[in-house]
Amino acid sequence: MNNSFDLNKILRPHILNLAPYSSARDEYTGHVGIFLDANENPYGSVTDENYNRYPDPHQMDIKRKLAPLKQINVERIFLGNGSDEPIDLLVRATCIPGKDKVIIMPPTYGMYEVSASIHDVKIEKVSLTTDYQIDVEAVLNAITPDTKIIWICSPNNPSGNVMQGKDIETILENFHGIVVVDEAYIDFTDSPSWLHHLDSYPNLVVLQTFSKSWGLAGLRIGMCFASKELVHILNKIKAPYNISQPSQKALLEGLDAATNMNEMVKEILKERTSLRTMLENLSLVNKVFPSDSNFLLVKFDDAKAIMDYLLQETIIVRDRSRVHLCEGCLRITVGTREENEALVACLVKYQQNIITV
């Protein structure tokens, strides 16, 4: 429980008092009527399908379907243009440029640093431990009165592992600012989500996304779960129609097909195990790190040469070999059975070439 948290002290003062843009569809939310309020084209669209009307700015149909699925109140849900949008909005809402600070724990997802840099917000980097866990003492020591956000990625990108619950709890309890737990990969682990701790911790924000397990990266929709007061603030500062009508429509269909998501996740987890086994059998692989995600972090003797070779073979993986604590590593997304076998066949060919040379 964190009783000392006061959102009003964390928000930038001018954001607290900001009068948001009131969109035409904020004033009338019915679906039928003669709409002469938003300067739309009354004849339809140039395309066969009509997109001439602005979409629901608050995506209420989606939130009403999502709320029971996540067992959370509609008022605690913010939807963004990918979870990258709430990452940016949280910095904008809380951090005074040139003054305030966020804490990140490398190696981790790059957008926390990029978003802070865009807004000229200071970044305090507290390295994860060598086994990719939170160095709680170092994090607590790095907190200053100007620290507004601590970013925790769990399961972490690029290391793939879940952070220990007790460490997250210690930070939640001892920090006066916002603790974001980014759960982009949560559906690939048995570890529980932090979603159901929102009542205990008013300073907790949980991010999830439709881009990974749901297979909807192209729609660009991310979820942000937080106190209803913070969700209200994010809604005030977002672009008025941040999620397009086709995306909203496709997601509404997607939410009805949650069982497909479960099936795909099962398949990906099976493939993760078999890809791990295949990689561990290769002599050029030094280590395959444990993964609670849909990717594997793999340490090679010569990551750069392998990356170049795979590129020549038009297999694209992510080079993390120059990232702190990931030296010599490539991050490999778990593909289909055929894709994984093609990757491993390429690596076997590379291995044989080295031996023959």
Site residues for ligand PLP per CB under 6 A: 82-84, 109, 153, 157, 182, 184, 209, 211, 217, 222
Query: Which residue lies nearer to ligand PLP by CB, 81 or 340?
Result: 81
Token duo for residue 251: 């997601």
Query: Which residue lies nearer to ligand PLP by CB, 217 or 345?
Result: 217
Q: What is the amino acid identity at position 71?
A: Q
Q: Which residue is nearest to ligand PLP (CB)?
A: 82
Residue 211 beta carbon to ligand PLP: minimum distance, rounded to whole angstroms: 3
Residue 185 beta carbon to ligand PLP: minimum distance, rounded to whole angstroms: 7
Question: Which residues 6+ apart lie within 8 Å of 335 measured at CB?
Answer: 271, 275, 343
In which residue are the tokens 């894709």 written? 339
Residue of 12, 42, 345 whose CA lies nearest to 178? 12
Residue 308 beta carbon to ligand PLP: minimum distance, rounded to whole angstroms: 23
- Beta strands 222-225 and 77-80: pairing type? antiparallel
Q: Is 99 helix (H, G, I), strand (E, B) or coil?
A: coil
Residue 159 beta carbon to ligand PLP: minimum distance, rounded to whole angstroms: 11
Query: Which residue lies nearer to ligand PLP by CB, 184 or 195?
Result: 184
Token duo for residue 181: 């737990």
Query: Which residue lies nearer to ligand PLP by CB, 15 or 217?
Result: 217
For residues 74 and 64, is the Cβ–Cβ distance under 8 A? yes
Residue 209 beta carbon to ligand PLP: minimum distance, rounded to whole angstroms: 3
Residue 294 beta carbon to ligand PLP: minimum distance, rounded to whole angstroms: 10
Helix or strand (DSSP H, E) at 115: helix 111-118
Query: Which residue lies nearer to ligand PLP by CB, 154 or 350?
Result: 154
Instruction: Give CA–CA dist 82/208, Å, rounded.
Output: 9
Query: Which residue lies nearer to ligand PLP by CB, 153 or 347?
Result: 153
Bond prior to 158 in cis (omega within 30° of 0): yes
Instruction: Give CA–CA dist 355/38, Å, rounded.
Output: 68
Q: What is the amino acid identity at position 265?
A: V
Query: Which residue lies nearer to ligand PLP by CB, 185 or 300?
Result: 185
Query: Which residue lies nearer to ligand PLP by CB, 217 or 354?
Result: 217
Angle among Cα 294, 299, 300 to the nearest 5 degrees reads 125
Residue 262 beta carbon to ligand PLP: minimum distance, rounded to whole angstroms: 19
Instruction: Give CA–CA dist 24/38, Å, rounded.
Output: 6
For residues 234 and 78, is the Cβ–Cβ distance under 8 A? yes
For residues 233 and 178, is the Cβ–Cβ distance under 8 A? no
Residue 242 beta carbon to ligand PLP: minimum distance, rounded to whole angstroms: 12
